Amino acid sequence: MKTGLYIHLPFCKQKCNYCDFASFAHREKLIPAYLGALEKEAERSALKAFQTLYVGGGTPSLLSASQLRRLCGSISSFFGSISSFEESTFEANPESLTPVKIQILQKNGFNRLSLGLQSFNDAELKILGRVHESSTFLKTYQAARAGGFENINVDLIAGLPGQTLESFLTSLQQVLALRPEHLSVYGLQIEKGTPFFERGVVCDQLLMRCMLEETHIRLQAAGYHHYEISNFALPGYEAKHNTHYWDNGEYIGLGSAAASYVGGVRKQNTPDMEKYIDCIQEGKDATVFSERLTGKAREGETLMLALRKLDGVELSARQEEFFGKEIERHLQNGLLEKDGKKVKLSFEGMFLANEVFRSFVAPFEEI
């Protein structure tokens, strides 16, 4: 059975206005201690062999060159050469991914980069609280190509405050001109606790819908496979690590706030970075949440994750037993459709997916 390894680096130069991830600005002094804790947690990992690796955050590229070498060395020491993974992704921001760091990643075997652009419009980047400009992204992207990376993902966000359809499509076309192997295009979500939420920012849902519809049309016309609600890939470049999540596969997460899913048990480490470091250094368990899904709840989660993939899913007998009525209801209301033996989100369902997913999460509706 395939397994994935996720490593969380919660450090950021500046917290973005939309971000509710477990990440922190101006905490770089803790990086050495944090890397030490990661090494101890890795040493204690029950699993040692993985097919995919994803280093995310936060901003992993905020690590210095020497810290990045240490991280790469630690991964190789505990889990084998990074080049032995089928896919190894490193998340980076344009302002902190230098040519030297690109060389380190390439030399140590990373074969995929994920670059956080979000917009090609500098005014929109400022609204988001990003610390890079579009010209910085372009230089970093070109440096990554020159450094040998042949599999690059670029992130974009639709529905930003003050963003127009024209400005969004201009960003999209500028990214398309670069021909990255993969694009992740997300509709902006205003999450509680973020600066956007505190300011009362509200998204224009209709405009965002137009942006995402145009994204679907234009990227497919350009040869990209729209394989998951927010993800597009040139053929053969679909993200293996994330697809493993949607297939409800097992994975181990290392670091503060990192989640693991093994043997039907999902657990998560404390998001408190200092508490995480102290727990691991003292030989204690940093877990703050754990649950075992069984029966209808487990089948519902498996189905919900599988339906994120736009090619659909062939229902199992148990899924039919537990959710046959809900599936039929969404077939009738047009949010799901049949494709041979499979059931999948319809075009309308892509934009109202949460209406569908709600049916597969406890507490379950009585129909």
pLDDT tens profile 35-82: 999 999 999 998 899 999 999 999 999 999 999 999 999 999 999 999
User: φ and ψ at 242, to 5 degrees?
Assistant: -70, -35
User: φ and ψ at 366, to 5 degrees?
Assistant: -95, 120
pTM for this model (two decimals): 0.95
Q: What are 115-137's pLDDT values in tens digits?
A: 999 999 999 999 888 888 999 99
Sign of the alpha-carbon torsion through 321, 289, 189, 7: negative
Task: For the chain, give every residue range classified as CATH 1.10.10.
Answer: 295-360
6: closest CA among 38, 44, 43, 40? 38
User: Is the separation of the CB atoms in 133 and 140 below 8 Å?
Assistant: no
Does pLDDT of 366 surpass 70?
A: no
In the CATH scheme, what is the code of domain 3-245?
3.20.20.70
Question: Residue 365 — very low, low, confident or very high, per pLDDT cuts 50/70/90?
Answer: low
Q: Structure tokens of 289?
A: 């949440």
Task: For the chain, give every residue range classified as CATH 3.20.20.70.
Answer: 3-245
Mean pLDDT of 231-249: 96
- DSSP-based three-state secondary structure for 155: strand
Q: Domain 295-360: which CATH class?
A: mainly alpha
User: Angle at Cα 176 formed by Cα 85 and Cα 149, nearest 5°?
Assistant: 30
59: closest CA among 91, 16, 26? 91
The identity of residue 66, as a single letter, is: S
Does pLDDT of 181 surpass 80?
A: yes
Q: What are 266-276's pLDDT values in tens digits?
A: 999 999 999 99
Integer Cα distance of 242 and 249 in angstroms: 10
What CA–CA distances, in Å, run from 209 to 159, 274, 306?
A: 8, 40, 23
